[in-house]
Amino acid sequence: MSGSSSADFLFELGTEELPPRALRELEQALCREVVERFDAAGLTHGAAHSYAAPRRLAVLVRALASQQSEQHVRRRGPPVSAAFDPSGAPTRAALAFAESCGSSVAELGRIREGKGEFLLYEARQPGAASTELIPDIIRTALDALPIAKRMRWGSSDAQFVRPVHWLLLRHGEAVIPARILDTDAAGTSRGHRFLAPRELSIKAPADYADTLQQQGYVIADFATRRQQIEKQVAACAAECGGIAIVSDALLDEVTALVEWPVAMVGKFEARFLELPREVLLSTLQDHQRYFAIEDPAGKLLPWFITISNIPSRDPAQVRAGNERVVRPRLSDAAFFWQQDRRQPLAASRPALDQVTYQAKLGSIGARTERVAALADVVAVAIGADRAFVARAAQLAKCDLVSSIVGEFPELQGIMGAYYASADGEAAEVASAIREHYLPRGAGDQIPQSRGGMALALADRLDTLAGIFAIGQKPSGTRDPFGLRRAAIGLLRIAEQAALDIDLPQLVAEAVAAQPVAMPAAVAEVLSFISERQRAACLERSSEGFTTEMFDAVQASGPRSPHDFMARLAALRDFLVRPEAAALAAANKRSANILKKAPPPANARLDKALLRLEAERTLADGLAALREPVHSRIEQRDYAGALALLAELRPLVDSFFEGVMVNDADPDLRRNRLALLTELRALFTGVADLSFLPG
């Protein structure tokens, strides 16, 4: 086989229906893993494209080389000192290394690295044929997929997320012989489970998508199928005189459930429109995977759109079936809505004392009291109305024992707000109840009211403090209590709303309030939150933050997440100044000197001992800037403080060029160390520049 020849490559894995919410991730991961392994093996190729449908994952790679390029093998062996005995004869170590390389000791070269000389084997070998490499590449790519729980089927020892039924593996027109996941590779795919339940010959990889669509009633490309569904849904909604409510999450899930989408309109009784909007949407979208329809004014209409996986000869019958399914769910919701409103929300508060939150942390009622006490502290700090926050804190979890939340748990907080409003509670109380779960996830909005913010922060702080106190902190990918989400939500609220909260104090109070005494949990919770903040900052690559910047600000000990971000932004902007690199280097040098020879704790700068002009001018410069820098720091004008500190650059340069800090005279040495301590203290008021490269 010529190393320059190439052909398109196709791999398809056919399975039972794959988990719909994981389908896109599996598709993208498989394509990425396959391509990365081709690259690592030195197999050149063109563009790659992935496919995903309910019963299949596939990867098409254009122009995959038929053979690796010539391989340059280079292996370092044992040290020469250990490779030969005093007489110059090769030792066992040298002989074993040469044998492992398929060579002789005499043919080995030598290389000097560091302080030693080693035996070296170098050779050029023809590359392997891609057909020999591909089976193992596919196996390892499948093993690397992000699958939380793999399963076995039948008597097979193979494991995958779902049972495997067929395997297509082609390079050009040739089928690659392989057995993967206890399934023999072939050159055929399979069509739609009902419309074309037969094998389909895929003669060329590039024909894959067209063959499946034209002969198999399968739209293999996820994006194409998604676009078709979105287009059909919009057309159906227009026929009803409305606009479809289409969320990305629902659209993705429905796309992952069907191979041949067919949209159809259904109707429900208009009386159900009296239910809260969220109840209707939860029933239609979350439970039935239907698309709701609203009029141009945003009012829900008594219609829905369902996506079938097959065209029907009797659409009316299918429509009636879907309507028959949704009717009892809406009837149940209406019944629960009426039942729950027979008593005020506050009447459910005693019931929370009988519901266990966590075995070691007591009941939800006990947790309510902890959150209420902490929310009061937060309310004072952020200027929220304490009376409204106190009332909202007592009612916030009451809807957990309501009938409708028992049926629709995703509506907790939302239903509490409806019930509170129906009971005549203040609007501020109802909004705080609704908002205290916000943000529920990435991209969700934060609470808009101060009361909602206070309650949301207190709720998350209690969760973090309690779970860390009982030693159940997240491990690896496991986070059953959602602590990462709680920490990220807390940070988003504090940063986006510019809340000046004392986070260490609040964490300490939250930990102290837990029924399990664990003082060490304070440091653990703060460290956990800090790591979430670090990850969030570094993910925002467009903002130019680095790990070193984060560490520099963290070392200055800001107590508020908002204050932390203000310092970080000021430091980032400061680092583009021409003085920044030199001052960072000076701070690093100062930190190293003080670390090796720290002055006594009570050491004070004595101006009478300033013998050299460079140290006198630096001391004068520090004295002149100390008050204005501190003033700007107190005003949170960190950019202004750093701009003033930049003026010290020539004085600092002169000091390090002309002054020996570790002078033989102990008094001079101690005084100069005290001067460096003052210099460091002034800079670390904003950030510790010694953490920066320089």
Residue-wise pLDDT for 32-88, tens only, equals 999 999 999 989 999 999 999 999 999 999 999 999 877 788 899 999 999 999 999
Beta-carbon count within 10 A of 123 CB: 13
Q: Which run of H or E residues covers position 282?
A: none
Residue type, 582: A
Residue range 612-640: average pLDDT? 93
How far apart, in whole angstroms, are the C-alpha atoms of residue 368 and residue 396? 8
Q: Tell me: cis bond preceding 666? Omega within 30 of 0 counts.
A: no
| CA trace torsion 362, 364, 370, 373 (10° rounding) | -160
Domains and CATH numbers, the chain: 6-68+129-216 (3.30.70.260), 71-124 (no CATH), 222-340 (no CATH), 345-539 (1.10.3210), 565-691 (1.10.730)
Q: Quick one: angle between helices 364-382 and 450-469, nearest 10? A: 130
Residue in 273, 230, 221, 276 with CA at minimum distance from that of residue 250? 230
Residue 201 confidence (pLDDT): 95
Residues 6+ apart with CB under 8 A from 623: none
Residue written as tokens 């392994």?
Answer: 37
Residue 1 confidence (pLDDT): 39
How far apart, in whole angstroms, are the C-alpha atoms of residue 452 and residue 446? 9
DSSP state of 284: I
Dihedral sign, Cα of residue 190, residue 12, residue 16, residue 157: positive
- Confidence at 196, pLDDT banded by 50, 70, 90: very high
Residue 2 confidence (pLDDT): 40
In this predicted structure, the answer to whether residue 687 has a pLDDT above a threshold of 80 is: yes
Tokens found for residue 595: 């670390």
With vertex at residue 355, the alpha carbon angle to CA 351 and CA 358, rounded to the nearest 5 degrees, is 150
In this predicted structure, the answer to whether residue 332 has a pLDDT above a threshold of 70 is: yes
Give pLDDT tens digits for 110-168.
998 877 899 999 988 788 899 999 999 999 999 999 998 999 998 889 999 999 999 99
> Contacts for 220-224 with beta carbons within 8 Å, 24 or more apart?
220/51, 220/52, 220/53, 220/56, 220/58, 221/51, 222/23, 222/24, 222/27, 222/50, 222/51, 222/52, 222/53, 222/255, 222/256
Q: Which run of H or E residues covers position 393?
A: helix 386-395
Residue in 293, 220, 192 with CA at minimum distance from that of residue 49? 220
Instruction: Classify the phi-psi angles of 172: left when phi > 0, otherwise alpha if psi is within -120 to 50, otherwise beta.
Output: left
Residue written as tokens 């005499």?
Answer: 106
8 Å CB contact between 185 and 176: yes
Residue in 397, 384, 370 with CA at minimum distance from that of residue 447? 384
How far apart, in whole angstroms, are the C-alpha atoms of residue 469 and residue 485? 18
What is the distance of C-alpha 529 from the center of its chain? Answer: 14
Residue 4 confidence (pLDDT): 58
Residue range 204-232: average pLDDT? 97
How far apart, in whole angstroms, are the C-alpha atoms of residue 599 and residue 615? 17
- Confidence at 209, pLDDT banded by 50, 70, 90: very high
Give pLDDT tens digits for 411-454.
999 999 999 999 999 999 999 999 999 999 888 899 999 999 99
Residue 594 confidence (pLDDT): 85
Instruction: Classify the phi-psi angles of 88: left when phi > 0, otherwise alpha if psi is within -120 to 50, otherwise beta.
Output: left
Residue in 478, 483, 482 with CA at minimum distance from that of residue 149? 478
Give pLDDT tens digits for 557-609.
999 999 999 999 999 999 998 888 888 888 888 888 888 878 777 778 888 89
Residue in 352, 388, 383, 384 with CA at minimum distance from that of residue 370? 352
Tokens found for residue 6: 């190439």
pTM of the model: 0.81
| CA trace torsion 422, 489, 448, 298 (10° rounding) | -70
Instruction: Classify the phi-psi angles of 458: left when phi > 0, otherwise alpha if psi is within -120 to 50, otherwise beta.
Output: alpha
* Three-state secondary-structure class, residue 540: coil
Tokens found for residue 462: 């209690």
8 Å CB contact between 550 and 688: no
Residue 694 confidence (pLDDT): 62
How far apart, in whole angstroms, are the C-alpha atoms of residue 273 and residue 151? 43
8 Å CB contact between 201 and 226: no
How far apart, in whole angstroms, are the C-alpha atoms of residue 496 and residue 503? 15
Beta-carbon count within 10 A of 448 CB: 13
8 Å CB contact between 480 and 434: no
Q: Mean pLDDT in the chain?
A: 93
* Three-state secondary-structure class, residue 247: coil
8 Å CB contact between 303 and 273: no
Residue 23 confidence (pLDDT): 97
Tokens found for residue 555: 């070392």
Residue 476 confidence (pLDDT): 77
Which stretches of 148-247 are DSSP H helices?
208-216, 222-239
Beta-carbon count within 10 A of 224 CB: 14
How far apart, in whole angstroms, are the C-alpha atoms of residue 636 and residue 565? 11
Instruction: Work out whether strand 300-308 and strand 291-294 pair parallel, antiparallel, or are unpaired.
Output: antiparallel
Q: Which run of H or E residues covers position 477?
A: none
Residues 6+ apart with CB under 8 A from 59: 9, 10, 11, 30, 31, 34, 35, 48, 49, 50, 51
| CA trace torsion 652, 653, 655, 661 (10° rounding) | 100
Beta-carbon count within 10 A of 503 CB: 24
8 Å CB contact between 460 and 390: no
Which stretches of 193-314 are DSSP H helices?
208-216, 222-239, 248-255, 277-281
How far apart, in whole angstroms, are the C-alpha atoms of residue 84 and residue 500? 70
How far apart, in whole angstroms, are the C-alpha atoms of residue 367 and residue 372? 8
Instruction: Work out whether strand 300-308 and strand 262-267 pair parallel, antiparallel, or are unpaired.
Output: antiparallel
Give pLDDT tens digits for 483-532.
999 999 999 999 999 999 999 999 999 999 999 999 999 999 999 999 99
8 Å CB contact between 204 and 8: yes
Give pLDDT tens digits for 339-382.
999 999 999 999 999 999 999 999 999 999 999 999 999 999 99
* Three-state secondary-structure class, residue 308: strand
* Three-state secondary-structure class, residue 569: helix
Going from the C-alpha of 291 to that of each of 203, 227, 252, the distances in angstroms are 39, 15, 12
In this predicted structure, the answer to whether residue 471 has a pLDDT above a threshold of 80 is: yes
